[in-house]
């Protein structure tokens, strides 16, 4: 990530993959429009990305949104895991199917980008390289292994806005992404680990030192090949050698009082739409 451009957006080069961890989005036809989310945050549902996605897509196509949408959340908030963006992307996919809209219509992508920088990734969440503000698809990678992943998050969180503000106050230089892209193209997982970097994660550790504690602990665990802060934090992911290693590390993290989850990279979105 680099500093803001003239529009106020940050330039972001991101490599994103989907994980088997998912929320559940249920869309039902109805006589009116309603959204229910089981989030613990005291935020009006009208401000949620799911609400914005449904309303914006309906407006773009002149459709009256007579649907009830409910979201059961499993992805922790303020974790840097793209939970709200994935919910919005899943909502768009589900509504496109319900309303017979071509998911590849440029208007759908425009709606996704208007909601959030990484929402468009979740329209078709294959391993990808995104540029611009993190919303422009540059390349997809077909050969990335379904590696075991462990997620560890301290109980406290950090918002994306806080992390970006911290970066603006004291920017952290970026590292070249060429080596990571070459490794992703060849599906070379050890080289992916060797070239991982996240300058926004450094800011997150500065703002919330416990993130650094989680990272330092995670890289020392048996069976963990490498670890890095996910997005703007506060979750740290570890790439593990085996699924058993991921489960063991998740258990050890839970015993320390941290949220944890053993999962894996997936090439097909498992976010459920019913």
Q: Which domains does the chain have, with CATH numbers?
A: 14-140 (3.30.230.10), 148-266 (3.30.70.890)
Residue 134 has what pLDDT?
83
Strand 236-240, strand 148-153: pairing: antiparallel
Instruction: Tell me the mean pLDDT in the region 196-201.
Output: 96
Residue 10 has what pLDDT?
81
CB 83 within 8 A of CB 77: yes
Q: What is the mean pLDDT of the chain?
A: 93
Q: Is 8's pLDDT higher than 90?
A: no
Residue 193 has what pLDDT?
97
Residue 43 has what pLDDT?
80
pLDDT tens per residue across span 235-256: 999 999 999 999 999 999 999 9
Name the helix (H) or strand (E) containing 219: helix 209-219
> What's the CA gap between 17 and 265, in Å, rounded?
7
Please enumerate in sequence order all residues whose Cβ is within 8 A of that of 6, keeping only pairs 6 or more positions apart, or say none. none
Q: Is 271's pLDDT higher than 60?
A: no
Residue 5 has what pLDDT?
63
pTM of the predicted model as reported, rounded to 2 decimal places: 0.93
φ, ψ for residue 233, nearest 5 deg? 80, 175
Residue 146 has what pLDDT?
86
Please enumerate in sequence order all residues whose Cβ is within 8 A of that of 172, keeping only pairs 6 or more positions apart, or say none. 199, 200, 202, 203
């Amino acid at each position: 990530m680099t500093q803001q451009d003239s529009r106020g957006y940050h330039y972001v080069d991101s490599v994103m993959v989907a994980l088997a961890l998912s929320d559940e989005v249920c869309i039902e036809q109805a006589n009116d429009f309603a959204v229910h989310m089981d989030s613990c945050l005291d935020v009006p549902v009208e401000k949620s990305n799911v609400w914005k996605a449904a309303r914006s897509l309906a407006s773009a196509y002149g459709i009256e949104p007579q649907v009830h949408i409910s979201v059961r959340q499993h992805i922790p908030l303020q974790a840097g895991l793209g939970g709200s963006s994935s919910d919005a992307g899943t909502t768009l996919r589900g509504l496109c199917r319900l309303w017979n809209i071509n998911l590849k219509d440029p208007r759908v992508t425009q709606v996704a980008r208007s909601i959030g920088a990484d929402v468009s990734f979740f329209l078709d969440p294959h391993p990808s390289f995104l540029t611009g503000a993190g919303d422009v698809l540059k390349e997809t990678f077909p050969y990335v292994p379904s590696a075991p992943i462990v997620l560890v998050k301290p109980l406290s969180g950090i918002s994306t806005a806080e992390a970006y503000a911290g970066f603006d106050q004291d920017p952290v230089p970026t590292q070249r992404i060429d080596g990571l892209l070459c490794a992703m193209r060849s599906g070379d997982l050890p080289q992916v680990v060797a070239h991982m970097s996240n300058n926004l994660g450094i800011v997150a550790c500065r703002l919330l030192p416990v993130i650094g504690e989680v990272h330092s602990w995670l890289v020392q665990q048996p069976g963990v090949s490498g670890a890095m802060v996910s997005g703007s934090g506060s979750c740290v992911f570890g790439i593990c050698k085996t699924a058993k290693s991921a489960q063991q590390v998740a258990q050890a993290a839970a015993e320390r009082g941290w949220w944890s989850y053993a999962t894996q990279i997936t090439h097909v979105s498992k976010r459920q739409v019913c």
